[in-house]
Amino acid sequence: MPRPEGCFAHEIRVTWGDCDPARIVYTGRIPWFALDAINAWWEAHVGQGWYQFEIDRNLGTPFVHMSLDFRSPITPRHRLVCHTWPEALGETSITFGVEGEQDGALCFEGRFVCVFTVADRFTKTPPPQDIREIVTPHLPRLA
Amino acid sequence: MPRPEGCFAHEIRVTWGDCDPARIVYTGRIPWFALDAINAWWEAHVGQGWYQFEIDRNLGTPFVHMSLDFRSPITPRHRLVCHTWPEALGETSITFGVEGEQDGALCFEGRFVCVFTVADRFTKTPPPQDIREIVTPHLPRLA
Amino acid sequence: MPRPEGCFAHEIRVTWGDCDPARIVYTGRIPWFALDAINAWWEAHVGQGWYQFEIDRNLGTPFVHMSLDFRSPITPRHRLVCHTWPEALGETSITFGVEGEQDGALCFEGRFVCVFTVADRFTKTPPPQDIREIVTPHLPRLA
Amino acid sequence: MPRPEGCFAHEIRVTWGDCDPARIVYTGRIPWFALDAINAWWEAHVGQGWYQFEIDRNLGTPFVHMSLDFRSPITPRHRLVCHTWPEALGETSITFGVEGEQDGALCFEGRFVCVFTVADRFTKTPPPQDIREIVTPHLPRLA
C-alpha cells in the first residue's frame, strides 16, 4: 500500500556512532530507527509512547513481525526523515508502514506488525477505545 | 524452507542491557543479534567476517532485505542459540536463514538477503570463487 | 569547573528502547548520549561533526578519557537536555564538559578528553586553525 | 590499584557493527563492553546477573560513577579480553576495575562504582550477606 500523503514524519539525527566501517549506517541500527519512528507516532498522536503505555496503562504492543527493504545507504550528512503511518488495525493488532528518506532519496521501507497485550499478563487484548478512535482516521481509505 | 539439520549455531549471551522495561529483549536488539549470527557464520566458515571482507578484500555484503517473525520473548535467563544457514546463493546475492532459540523454544525466525559488492565502489559483483565454493555445500538440497 | 551560563544545549528524546528492566535508562546508554551531545556541539559550532571531520578533512578526535557521575535516573518522561561546553583546549587535545538534565534535575555530569589526530595516520596533531578559533571564545575565562 | 593476578576474564567478540567509520570500535560501545564484563563477573561468581538480582531478589546495583582511560584502539581482529575484579566493597557500594586487552595490548582501563539498592524502592541498602561473602575473598589485599 503506498504511503499516504502528508503522513507523520519523524526526523532522526544520524551520527558517526550509527555508522560502520563502510561509512554508512550499520544495518542493525535501521530497524531501531524505524521503531523510534513508530514510538514517536504514538507520542505525537496519543500523547503517550510505549513507556507510558506499559507503566501507566498496563498496555503492551509487542512486535510479531517486521520486514524491511533497504534501498539506499544512510549517512550522517542529512537528517533521516521517517514517514510513518498505521496501515491496518485488526481486532488485536496494528500494522505500521515506515519509509526512511534522506535528501530526497528513499533509504528503506518497512512494515511492522504489533499486537496489543495486557502488559503484565502478556496476553492479547483489543486496543483501548481511545486508541482505536485515534488510529482509525489515519488508516488508508479503501478506494 | 525448513532449517537444515545440524546447521551452524551461534550462541549469544543475552544481558540486562538488552532488555527493556517489559523485562524482555527489546525488539530493536533482535535484528542486531541475527546479524551477529550471520557475521559469525562467515567467520566460522571463511575465517573472515564483514570487517576482514571490507578491509582486506574490498568485498561488501550490504543487506537489501530482512524479515523477521517474533515467536516468543527472549530474556537473559538462557543463552540465545542462533541457528544460521545460507538458504540460497544467486549470481550476486546470498540469502541467510536465522532461527533464534532459547531453552528449547523458538524465539524468532528471520530471512536476510545480502548482495555482494565491490566495497569501495558500492557496485554489485559476483562473490569471489572461494566464497562460492565454501557456501555451496551448505545450501539446502532440492528434494 | 562549573558549567558556563547559557552554554550549548542538545536535546535527546529518550525512548523505551533506551531503558532497562529497572525502567530507567540503561547506564551503558548514557555515555552514548553524552557523545551525541559533543558531536552536536561540533555540528552547531563548526558546521561539521565527527563524520565530516574524518571523511572531508582527515581529522580525527578520538577519546582518551571519560568520567561520569550519575546523579539521578533518566526516563522517557521528559526530554534529556545535555548542556555541553569545551572546558579546555590544549596543544593537541580538547576537554568537554557535559551535564544531562531532565525536568530540572541533574541526571549526570561528565568530562571527556579527546586528542586531535591525522585520521588516516592515527598520529596526534594540533587542531586546525579554524577549529582553534571557533573553540577559544567558548572556553571558560579564568577569574 | 594494579589488576590482581589471575582475576576473572570475560571475552567479547567484537564485530563490524561495533566499529565506526574510523574502522575501530566506537567509543560509545566501550563502556557497554565493560558493563557486560561486570555483569559476567556477577554471573560467574554469584550465579546471577543484574537481571536475576532485580527480578528474583529485588536487588539493584545502579552505577554512580564510571571513569575510563582509552589506551589503544579495539578492532574485530581479535577477541577483547576484559579482566574484571572487585576493587573495594563499602557499606553500601562496590567498586569494580576492568581492563580490556586485545592481542596483548591494553586497550582501556576503567573504574566503576555501584551502590546496592532495594530495587523497587530505589533506596540504598547494604549488600546481602551471601554477596558480601562471595565478593570479599576477591578483594585486593592490603600489603
Query: B131, B122 in Cβ contact below 8 A?
Result: no
Which three cell numbers, joined as nine digits, stand for A125? Answer: 487484548
H/E stretch holding D96 reads strand D93-102
The pLDDT value given to residue B139: 95
Distance CA B1, CA C61 (A): 48
- Minimal-distance CA residue of chain C relative to B19: C20
Kindly list the partner chains of chain A, i.e. chains with 3 or more CB atom pairs below 8 Å.
B, C, D
In a domain, residue A67? The reply is yes
- Residue-wise pLDDT for D10-48, tens only, equals 999 999 999 999 999 999 999 999 999 999 999 999 999
The pLDDT value given to residue C142: 62
DSSP codes joined into one string, D12-57: E---GGGB-TTSSB-TTHHHHHHHHHHHHHHHHHHS--HHHHHHHH
In a domain, residue D38? The reply is yes
Rounded to an integer, what is the distance from CA C66 to the centroid of its chain? Answer: 10
In a domain, residue C9? The reply is no
Query: C72, C107 in Cβ contact below 8 A?
Result: yes
The DSSP letter of residue C16 is G
In a domain, residue C143? The reply is no
Distance (Å) of CA C99 to CA C71, C83, D51, D60: 10, 5, 28, 24
> What percentage of chain D exceeds 70 in pLDDT?
99
- Residue-wise pLDDT for A20-45, tens only, equals 999 999 999 999 999 999 999 999 99
- Residue-wise pLDDT for C69-125, tens only, equals 999 999 999 999 999 999 999 999 999 999 999 999 999 999 999 999 999 999 999
Q: Which among B33, B99, B29, B114 is positioned nearest to A70, based on CA atoms?
A: B114
What mean pLDDT is reported for chain D? 96
SS3 (DSSP) at A64 = strand
**Mean pLDDT of the region C39-50:** 98
Q: Does A77 contact C35 at a Cβ distance shorter than 8 Å?
A: no
Q: From the candidates B36, B39, B54, B70, which should be mutated to test the interface with A, based on the most A CB atoms within 10 A?
A: B70
**Mean pLDDT of the region A46-67:** 98
Beta bridge partners of B56: none
- Neighboring chain C residues of D28 at a CB cutoff of 8 Å: 31-32, 35
Distance CA B122, CA B62 (A): 9
Q: Domain range for residue C127?
A: 19-138
**Does the structure show a pLDDT above 90 at A141?**
no
Which three cell numbers, joined as nine digits, stand for B32? Answer: 542486531
Global pTM exceeds 0.95: yes
Query: C80, C11 in Cβ contact below 8 A?
Result: yes
Q: Give the total residue count for chain D.
A: 143
In a domain, residue A47? The reply is yes
Q: Cell match 531532565: residue?
A: C102
The pLDDT value given to residue D2: 86
**Does the structure show a pLDDT above 80 at A143?**
no
The pLDDT value given to residue B78: 97
Q: Which among B15, B51, B75 has CB closest to D76? A: B51
Rg (CA), chain A: 16
What mean pLDDT is reported for chain C? 96
User: Which residues of chain C approach chain D closer than 8 Å at the C-beta?
Assistant: 21-22, 27-28, 31-32, 35, 51, 54-55, 60, 62-70, 73, 119, 122
Q: How many other CB atoms are there within 10 angstroms of residue C136's CB atom?
A: 10
Strand order in the sheet with A123-124: A59-60, A117-118, A123-124
In a domain, residue B130? The reply is yes
**How far is A72 from chain B, CA to nearest CA, in Å?**
9
In a domain, residue D53? The reply is yes
CATH number, domain of B109, equals: 3.10.129.10
Distance CA D95, CA A15 (A): 32
**How far is A21 from chain B, CA to nearest CA, in Å?**
8
In a domain, residue C6? The reply is no
Q: How many other CB atoms are there within 10 angstroms of residue A56's CB atom?
A: 10
Domain count, chain B: 1
Q: Does A17 contact D28 at a Cβ distance shorter than 8 Å?
A: yes
- Residue-wise pLDDT for A73-103, tens only, equals 999 999 999 999 999 999 999 999 999 999 9
Q: Does B36 contact D54 at a Cβ distance shorter than 8 Å?
A: no
Burial D19-35 (b: 16+ CB within 10 A, else e): bbbbbbbbbbbbbbbbb
Q: Output the tens digit of pLDDT for each of chain B's 143 residues.
A: 789 989 999 999 999 999 999 999 999 999 999 999 999 999 999 999 999 999 999 999 999 999 999 999 999 999 999 999 999 999 999 999 999 999 999 999 999 999 999 999 999 999 999 999 999 999 997 65
Region of A68 (left: φ > 0; alpha: ψ -120 to 50; beta: rest) is: beta
Q: Does C60 contact D22 at a Cβ distance shorter than 8 Å?
A: yes
Distance (Å) of CA B39 to CA A25, B65, B111, D45: 17, 16, 14, 31
What is the torsion angle, in degrees rounded to the nearest 10, for the CA atoms of residue A52, residue A54, residue A60 and residue A61?
A: 30
